[in-house]
């Protein structure tokens, strides 16, 4: 059994209109929500062995805030291919994980993450900013992860709850 934690980046700022989308940071709400969701993961004993993140500033800030709250000891792995990625790109990244990894956190973007939740669990669920979907997959090897394997959406947390 493999555990996938999908997290949409926390709320980002649109204040600086001259910033490229990739460079947009978290806003005040995002700066509060990201660590709060990290604490939620810690409280549920969900500490991943690997954190994969888009290179977008809002994702990296989210990933680092969560990593800090869960006392994550490894480096966050930043992948430029996860920036505004389609579901298949996320699947490709997950398939590349070592089978020693049982739990992974992926921090990314919509609509790709919502599509990935649907592909992996068969459930259509909205992922607002800083939302977390916990999915368990009935596989032993990450290479076995594909659109034919249906997992179980165990929980969905939103920061406003």
User: Domain containing 27 — which CATH number?
Assistant: 3.40.50.1240
Are the CB atoms for 6 and 63 separated by under 8 Å? no
Q: What is the pLDDT of residue 16?
A: 83
- Write the CB contacts of 101 (distance below 8 Å, at least 6 apart in sequence): 2, 49, 50, 142
As a whole number of angstroms, the distance between CA 8 and CA 108 comes to: 5
What digits encode the pLDDT tens for the residues 103-146? 999 999 999 999 999 999 999 999 999 999 999 999 999 999 98
Is the pLDDT assigned to residue 15 strictly greater than 90?
Answer: no
Query: What is the domain range of residue 87?
Result: 2-157
Counting the structural domains of the chain, the total is 1
């Amino acid at each position: 059994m493999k555990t996938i934690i999908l997290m949409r980046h926390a709320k980002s700022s649109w204040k600086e209109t001259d910033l490229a989308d990739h460079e947009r940071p978290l806003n005040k709400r995002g700066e509060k929500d990201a660590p709060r969701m990290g604490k939620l993961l810690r409280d549920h004993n969900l500490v991943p062995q690997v954190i994969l993140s888009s290179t977008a500033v809002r994702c990296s800030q989210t990933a680092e805030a969560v990593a800090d709250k869960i006392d994550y000891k490894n480096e966050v792995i930043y992948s430029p291919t996860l920036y505004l990625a389609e579901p298949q790109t996320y699947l490709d990244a997950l398939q590349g994980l070592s089978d020693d990894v049982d739990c992974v956190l992926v921090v990314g973007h919509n609509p790709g993450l919502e599509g990935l939740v649907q592909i992996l669990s068969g459930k259509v669920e909205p992922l607002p900013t800083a939302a977390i979907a916990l999915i368990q997959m009935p596989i032993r090897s990450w290479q076995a992860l594909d659109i034919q394997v249906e997992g179980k959406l165990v929980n969905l947390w939103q920061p406003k709850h």
